[in-house]
Amino acid sequence: MMPTLSHPPSSQPTHMVQASNTVPRSQEIDHHTFQQSTLTTKRWLTIIIFLSAVSVATVVLCLQFGTQYIGLGEMFGIIWRTITSFPGTADSDVTATILMQVRLPRVLLGFLAGASLAAIGVTLQALLRNALADPYVLGVSSGAALGVSVAVLFGVGTTILSVSALPLCGFLGSLMALAVIYRMAVSYDRLPIHSVLLAGVILNAIFSALIMFITSILDPNRSFGMMAWLMGSLTAPALPALSVFSLYVLLGLFLLLRHVGVLNLMAFGEDAARSLGIDTERVKRNLLLLSALMTGAVVSFSGMIGFIGMVIPHAVRMVFGADHRLLMPASVLIGGAFLTVADTLARTYAAPSELPVGIVTALAGGPFFVYLLVWRKDRMS
């Protein structure tokens, strides 16, 4: 049973900043109370079904574009043949190989990575009540990046179950960062939000410095490859790796989606949440750990893709309101679709070479976000 909530002011600081300049405070709260009260099951269903349809259409469309265009009929034909044929008797046709072994894994990875980054962003922004919180704020991503850098430094190129060891090293690095966060979480009886933020920023600084150090002692030829990885790249993962990643991330997304009610309360203020019988410390610890574990996996597979985790939740909040029951699933769908489109641009724009996807997300999404900010301001005044 979800208690009716008025809008939690602190979870929406960008709004507050712009709103306080233009409209009286009372009006702003009215505006959100209005949005809040309109989240009926019908509105929720309509929006989610619409966004799901858009996501599916995006994925299908992105599957068609690449170094060569694959028509809809041919595409579904190949997928059908692959499903119906015996396992192991892979299609030898080049188009089929490209679609099934390169594009499909890559689009799936992109969608799941984007969805995860956005969901983690929503969670952390609510939990830390900070507008600038994103999946990287915990220092987990730079931990993962450090893991990969160390692997490159020592020439670790081993494969485990025919899967590259680099994601694994990245994940170990993120676990190391996670250990520090967890240590903090258990050593403080109560985990103050500002220490989490501060520790994340400091961890980021330390790890970034170590990465820089490794880059500076590496032969430029080798650091070149490492820098390319750091800039974010979705390369087609091998099937076993992709399956593990998908199960892991889907479980994480499911758990985050189950917490939308608690997030609404947490964003409202910890004291208020506690007074409603929420064990806020446990919720904070669990969700921080979950976010960190998911960030580690995403960074290990796709490098450092900034922007999505921070900006998608804000953009979705501006359009659909701040209720996490809608904000979370909408961010998941839009985040996934956004990264899928960005990666399609990254691999087609300069084909046959590729652009680092992190650059595309920022360049394509940034102006749109600025437009949203301005547009919202106009509409409200």
> How many Å separate Cα 335 from the centre of its chain?
7
DSSP state string for 225-285: HHHHHHT----PPPHHHHHHHHHHHHHHHHHHHHTHHHHHHHHH-HHHHHHTT--HHHHHH
Q: How many residues bind another protein (CB under 8 A)?
A: 41
Using the contact rule CB under 8 A, the part of the chain among 3-11, 117-125, 163-171, 329-337 near another protein is 163-171
- In terms of CB distance, is 49 or 228 closer to another protein? 228
15 binds another protein (CB under 8 A): no
Total residue length of the chain = 381
Q: Which of these, 133, 181, 146, lies nearest to 309 by C-alpha position? A: 133
Task: Write the single-letter amino acid at 221.
Answer: N
Tell me the closest approach of the beta carbon of residue 212 to another protein, in angstroms. 10
Q: Is position 184 an interface residue for another protein (rule: CB under 8 A)?
A: no
Chosen residue from 224, 368, 371, 375 binding another protein by CB under 8 A: 224
Token pair, residue 134, equals: 């994103």
Q: Does residue 236 belong to the site contacting another protein (CB under 8 A)?
A: yes
Kindly tell me which residue out of 347, 362, 365, 376 binds another protein, with binding defined by CB under 8 A: 347
As a whole number of angstroms, the distance between CA 356 and CA 347 comes to 9
195 binds another protein (CB under 8 A): no
The residue (of 1 and 217) whose beta carbon lies closer to another protein is: 217
Pick from 4, 40, 89, 92 the residue near another protein by CB under 8 A. Answer: 92
> According to CB under 8 A, which residues from 61 to 80 bind another protein?
66-68
Burial class (CB in 10 A: 0-12, 13-18, 19+), 190: exposed
Rounded to an integer, what distance in angstroms lies between the CA atom of residue 342 and that of residue 364?
A: 7
- Least Å distance, CB 240 to another protein, is 10
CB of 161 to another protein, least distance (A): 11
5: Cβ–Cβ under 8 A, 6 or more apart, which residues? Answer: 36, 264, 265, 268, 323
CA gap 343, 337 in Å, rounded: 10
Q: Verify binding: residue 352, another protein, rule CB under 8 A.
A: yes
Q: Rule CB under 8 A: is residue 299 a binding residue for another protein?
A: no
Contacting residues toward another protein, per CB under 8 A: 66-68, 90, 92, 94, 97-98, 101-103, 155, 157-159, 162, 164-166, 216, 219-225, 228-229, 233, 235-236, 238, 347, 350-356
